[in-house]
Structure 1
Amino acid sequence: MMTHALTDGTASLRLAIDYLPQGIAVFDAGMRLVVSNHRYNLLLALPEDLTRPGTALFDIALFLSERGDMGPGDPAHLAIDRIRILTEAPMTVTQRMGNGGQALEFHSSRLPDGGLAITFSDVTARVRAEQELERVNLSLEGRVEERTKALTRVNSELEVARAKADAANHDKTRFLAAASHDLLQPLNAARLYTSTLIERAKSTAFAELATSIEASLTAVEEIMSALLDISRIDSGVLKPAPVPVAGQDLLRRIEVEFAPLAREHEVSLRIIPTAASVMADRALVGRIVQNLVSNAIKYTPAGGRVLVGMRRRGNRLRLDVVDTGIGFNRDQHKLVFAEFSRLDRAARMAQGLGLGLSIVQRLVAALDLTLELDSREGRGSRFSVYLPLVRNAKVTPAGSSPSPEGNFGTLNLKVLCVDNERAILEAMQGLLEHWGCDVRVALSLKQIDRERLLEGWYPDLVLMDYHLDQTSGLDAIEWLRHNLGGHLPAALVTADRSPAVRTLAEDRGIAVVTKPVKPAALRATISGLANQSVRSTRAK
């Protein structure tokens, strides 16, 4: 009864393993076949006599070797090597090609009684997938390497292009610096000569002619200054350097510079005082406000008003330039900021190229500020720039900021003028002497020393060019202060409009007058310096 049950169990086990997808064979301790399934016999394509129980593993291996399944070599040696591989370790995993070209993967395990269990399966599909993946990876690596080489080449080309662009920008920067100086120098001399001519031609037949010449020179100056500003912005030369600034300093400069223009246009210019401080690049924000105020005055009819002031809006200050001018409708907002674009009525009121507001928009973008516009045609406009509010911060002091000069009487001052352009010196001397000044001029510090211009003569103030032949105007002023006294008032008269120069001058307490010189602004600066000289004398 027990024997019958075991026989039935063995038959059931044999039937079960025949349905498994893997080939299975079990060998006893003497390496003779105990049982194998149908898949084992089929995958190895064994003859029937090698599938019977009791068949030696060596006979099966020798048959496969002689058939060529084990590769080239002596069949007996190949068979022995194969059996050694399968039996030398408790568990092994090996692969080899089958008789039909398929890939077979063998798993062998030693049994506790010393026997051997072998399972294997057809892994051709997996091997092909792995080979394809490897091929794809190799192809991908090749493409990545190719792309890397291409990117390296492109980056190298971009680096060369960037270096060329940087060199071009550097050259452009140097050109702009030269242009600012060399182009504006002769214009400055012409403006000074013309200003002297205007004052001397009053009440004569030449007065109108002199005024017309001065107006033409002013137009040329505005065009050149605008074009140079646009070039500086576009080339990245203008680098914002915001510092805490007293709002009143910005407004005071506007009053000094534009009070004469407002009087000329019969427009009331009102500056609202403020005690607030803002974070701003003094020179660049000043340029924005200058353009806005200039436009407001130009396009406001006689009898109109222009108001400049600051209002607190949250954590910002809104700097307003409000006018009662011609205004424009909402559809024209974009047009007024376009380069070389002017409204018909504006073109009839004032000359120009329509670059002022374009420069404002570019500067606002460069400084990352907000510009707001509100205008009604025929009723006026409000241009507003929002500036960060500063609380409890040490405000950077401005350079000498003169008050508006309304009295055009005799100045009666001793003025030393230094410039490396003889024509400018002659024009400046003529204008200052007409204002009643005792003027001495020099092309350099060497000339001052060589001709002993300062012996027995102490100037009340110095007007110094920035670009001298052998030194900078700032260093020259320091030399004069060292030799004449540290309280010598001085102004830098320069065509260089870069913020860096203005900052250097203001740090040393030196006023800045930009070329071409506006006579009214120059006179206001001189008056401010004269008051500074009087205060210094009293202090002594």
Structure 2
Amino acid sequence: MTNEIRSSFISTDDVIEDLERRNEKLAKINAALMQRVERSMDYQANAYSMFQTAIGLETQVRARTEELKAALNRLERANSQLTSARDGAERANRFKTRFFTAVGHDLLQPLHAARLSLSALGEIHGDQHHTRLIGQVDHALSTIEELLRTILDLSKLDSGAIKPSLQPVEIPDLFRSVLVDIEPIARAKGLLVTMRSRDVAVTSDPLMLRRILQNLLANAVQYTERGRVLLSCRKRGAHFRIDVWDTGPGIAPSEQSKIFEEFHRGAAGQRSHAGGFGIGLAIISRMAEALGHRIELCSETGRGTRFSVFVPIAGDAVTHRASGARDRQSAASRAYGLAAMKVIVIDNDAGVRDAMRALLDRWGCDSRLIAGLADVEDLIGNEPGFRPDIILADFHLDNGEQGLDAVTRLRGEALISIPTVVITADHSAEVAEAVAKAGCEILRKPVKPAELRALITHLVG
């Protein structure tokens, strides 16, 4: 009995141990299952989070795309407006250029006649009062001429109508030429004007470079009350630096950055009684830019100013050829004398013809003055023996005619190429090319009588 009971207890212990092992195993299985479930839940949560993030990003991309499209549309409208504004500005600029050219031509015509008449009047001997009045009128006409040319130059530079013609320019000739114009003004102010040149040539447009130096010298003389003005040059690498020095009041550092702006005269200009509109240096800057020449300014208040223009050096062979041409021109210009010279003047303006007749009469010339092609035919028919030594012709005549057509007719009748000077107020490149192609010289109105007489003497001599 006792053994049976003990056997029964042993059997129960085994059962309990077995149950405990199973329970432990089930606990492990349950823990593993719980881990799997938790991992599955984390994955789903992450996937859902990523899904929400993708939706958010897509919304942001869509919003940024709409903003970009709106910005592009605004930019396109702004570009369209800018294009319209640019086209309008270009049309206005072309109109301004045509307007100034036409007005300048119409104003220079009577000014040309007035200068010729005044020159003829000045050669008539009179009293001191008479001479003084002529000088005052001549100064007023010169001022008007300079202002008109300045306005026209600004208009042409802005429109790009002025195209430089680069060629060798002799420094000594250039310096002498600009000093001849400025020395009388400097002498009247008690200023000493000197030059230091070298027998070299530079590459530039001779007319534009001369205009730059003229303006710089005129400013130097205008604003210098005592002392001197010096025109010099020195070699700087592949360039010559042309300097205009003065002992004037100088330019303050605060003004030096503005001095080349239009209508800016600065403190010295405002104190000066010479007048002016403050556009001379603006023209200098534009011309130098068109030529590719660098301008340098060095100034000290109370001590003076130096303006410098850097111009490329020309070749030696070109320099010798230019010197030879200069010598030949100088020899020809010494052959002075216009008495009994036969001259034909072709101009549609009656005032110009009358002024030219008076001037040529004072020079002792035998002249014929006509208005157009019909008068050329009358002259050929009525005076077949009149063979002109030189022709002075306007370019634009009435009814669309051109002076070169009349010149061609006269040359054909004479069977020789008669020397011809075309005198015109038209500054366009097309006119200059047409005149050069016809083998004629050109002068711009208003013409200085001394300049005209020198050119006639050179051509006929």
**C-alpha separation in 1, matches of 2:29 and 2:348:** 114
**C-alpha separation in 2, matches of 1:379 and 1:407:** 46
1:525 to 452, 455, 460: 455
2:296 to 372, 384, 393: 372
Report the counterpart of residue 235 of structure 2 in structure 1: 312
Q: What CA deviation, in whole Å up to 9, does each residue of 1:457-510 have, x standing for no partner?
A: 222222222333324455655565555456432223222334564466456654
Matched residues, number: 423
* AA of the residue aligned to 2:37: H
The 3 A distance-change label for structure 1 pair 288 and 510 is: farther
Is 1:464 the counterpart of 2:396? The answer is: no
**C-alpha separation in 1, matches of 2:423 and 2:29:** 111
* AA of the residue aligned to 2:389: D
**C-alpha separation in 1, matches of 2:318 and 2:405:** 27
**C-alpha separation in 2, matches of 1:449 and 1:523:** 27
Report the counterpart of residue 148 of structure 2 in structure 1: 224
Report the counterpart of residue 168 of structure 2 in structure 1: 246
How big is the shift at 1:164?
A: 1.3
The 3 A distance-change label for structure 1 pair 498 and 305 is: farther
1:259 to 176, 180, 184: 180
The 3 A distance-change label for structure 1 pair 445 and 257 is: farther
Report the counterpart of residue 90 of structure 1 in structure 2: none
Report the counterpart of residue 38 of structure 1 in structure 2: 37
How big is the shift at 1:264?
A: 6.9
Is 1:212 the counterpart of 2:141? The answer is: no
2:427 to 486, 489, 497: 497
How big is the shift at 1:209?
A: 1.6
Report the counterpart of residue 94 of structure 1 in structure 2: none
**C-alpha separation in 2, matches of 1:411 and 1:309:** 40
1:324-363 superposed matches below 5 A: 327-331=248-252, 334=256, 339=263, 341=265, 343=268, 347-348=272-273, 350=274, 352-363=276-287
Between structure 1 and structure 2, the one with the greater Rg is: 1
The 3 A distance-change label for structure 1 pair 492 and 122 is: same
The question of whether the paired residues in 1 share the 8 Å contact of 2:112 and 2:352 is answered with yes
**C-alpha separation in 1, matches of 2:183 and 2:239:** 29
Q: Secondary structure at the match of 2:313?
A: strand
**C-alpha separation in 1, matches of 2:48 and 2:413:** 99
Q: What CA deviation, in whole Å up to 9, does each residue of 1:263-316 have, x standing for no partner?
A: 5764767684634231x34443332123234445666789x9766564331111
The 3 A distance-change label for structure 1 pair 327 and 455 is: farther
1:292 to 212, 216, 219: 216
* AA of the residue aligned to 1:432: L
**C-alpha separation in 2, matches of 1:516 and 1:141:** 66
Q: Secondary structure at the match of 1:320?
A: strand
Q: Secondary structure at the match of 1:170?
A: helix
**C-alpha separation in 1, matches of 2:181 and 2:146:** 16
* AA of the residue aligned to 1:438: D
* AA of the residue aligned to 2:448: K
Q: Which moved more, 1:362-371 or 1:388-397?
A: 388-397
2:85 to 161, 166, 179: 161
* Greater RCO (CA < 8 Å, at least 6 residues apart): 2
**C-alpha separation in 1, matches of 2:174 and 2:460:** 17
Q: What CA deviation, in whole Å up to 9, does each residue of 1:396-455 have, x standing for no partner?
A: 99xx98659799865542222222212112112211221122222222233212432773
How big is the shift at 1:347?
A: 3.3
**C-alpha separation in 1, matches of 2:146 and 2:450:** 16
Runs of 5+ consecutive residues of structure 1 not aligned to the other structure: 1-7, 20-36, 44-103, 105-119, 532-540
**C-alpha separation in 2, matches of 1:307 and 1:231:** 31
How big is the shift at 1:171?
A: 0.7
The 3 A distance-change label for structure 1 pair 512 and 194 is: same
The 3 A distance-change label for structure 1 pair 527 and 236 is: same
How big is the shift at 1:38?
A: 1.7
Q: Secondary structure at the match of 1:441?
A: strand
Is 1:176 the counterpart of 2:100? The answer is: yes
Q: Secondary structure at the match of 1:362?
A: helix
Q: Secondary structure at the match of 1:200?
A: coil
**C-alpha separation in 1, matches of 2:174 and 2:73:** 58
* AA of the residue aligned to 2:121: L
The 3 A distance-change label for structure 1 pair 405 and 139 is: same
The 3 A distance-change label for structure 1 pair 200 and 351 is: farther
**C-alpha separation in 2, matches of 1:353 and 1:175:** 21
Report the counterpart of residue 421 of structure 1 in structure 2: 349
Q: Secondary structure at the match of 2:140?
A: helix
Q: With structure 1 as the length reference, what TM-score do the two structures score?
A: 0.65
The question of whether the paired residues in 1 share the 8 Å contact of 2:335 and 2:458 is answered with no
Q: Secondary structure at the match of 1:457?
A: coil
The 3 A distance-change label for structure 1 pair 177 and 13 is: farther
Give the root-mean-square deviation of aligned CA atoms: 4.3
The question of whether the paired residues in 2 share the 8 Å contact of 1:310 and 1:318 is answered with yes
Q: What CA deviation, in whole Å up to 9, does each residue of 1:198-249 have, x standing for no partner?
A: 111445652222222111111222222223323333x334444353x1112x
**C-alpha separation in 2, matches of 1:528 and 1:18:** 119
Q: Secondary structure at the match of 2:458?
A: helix
The structure with more helix, counted as a fraction of residues: 2
How big is the shift at 1:175?
A: 0.6
* AA of the residue aligned to 1:457: F
Q: With structure 2 as the length reference, what TM-score do the two structures score?
A: 0.75
Is 1:276 the counterpart of 2:201? The answer is: yes
Q: Secondary structure at the match of 2:272?
A: helix
The question of whether the paired residues in 2 share the 8 Å contact of 1:259 and 1:269 is answered with no
Report the counterpart of residue 369 of structure 2 in structure 1: 441
Q: Secondary structure at the match of 1:177?
A: helix
The 3 A distance-change label for structure 1 pair 256 and 405 is: farther
Runs of 5+ consecutive residues of structure 2 not aligned to the other structure: 1-23
The 3 A distance-change label for structure 1 pair 487 and 254 is: farther
% of aligned pairs identical? 31
